[in-house]
């Protein structure tokens, strides 16, 4: 735990939150500044700044938990869709440097626009990128 990290304090129960779920490794809370009704955050109790610092076991558990939360939200909130968003680094929009996964229920005409402008790429460029990344995965 990082004693200067607000999400560490929330995840470990030092700061009150509207908790949806808690186990030894995670706390899931409702966001105090929600994009939509039911917007939640999955917070690891261990301080992990971003996905680049996360081990495979924790990553697996995060997404299993995200699936469980999403299914419960669909039933409880009757949302029309759902976004799962996770930002890494300031340039990507991360503002609290403790890993957190947003689960954002979506409703028709909710006014939110979580999107990007599609770019273009050439086959040669895609193959070069794929080759570089695959070499690091083996």
Kindly list the catalytic residues: 100
Whose CA is closest to 54, among 101, 1, 99? 99
At a CB cut-off of 8 Å and minimum separation 6, what does 18 contact? 29, 30
At a CB cut-off of 8 Å and minimum separation 6, what does 50 contact? 88, 89, 94, 97, 99
Please state the separation of Cα 135 from the chain's center in Å: 27
The pair of three-digit structure tokens given for residue 70, joined into one six-digit string = 């999403």
């Amino acid at each position: 735990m990082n004693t200067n990290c607000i999400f560490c304090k929330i995840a470990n129960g030092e700061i009150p939150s509207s908790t949806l779920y808690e186990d030894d490794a995670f706390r899931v809370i409702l966001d105090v500044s929600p994009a939509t009704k039911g917007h939640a955050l999955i917070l690891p109790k261990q301080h992990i700044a971003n996905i680049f610092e996360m081990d495979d076991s924790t990553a697996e558990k995060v997404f299993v938990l995200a699936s469980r939360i999403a299914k419960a939200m669909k039933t409880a909130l009757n949302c029309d869709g759902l976004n799962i968003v996770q930002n890494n680094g300031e340039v990507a929009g991360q503002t609290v440097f403790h890993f957190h996964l947003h689960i954002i229920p979506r409703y028709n005409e909710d006014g939110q626009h979580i999107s990007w402008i599609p770019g273009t790429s050439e086959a040669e460029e895609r193959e070069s990128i794929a080759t570089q990344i695959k070499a690091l995965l083996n």
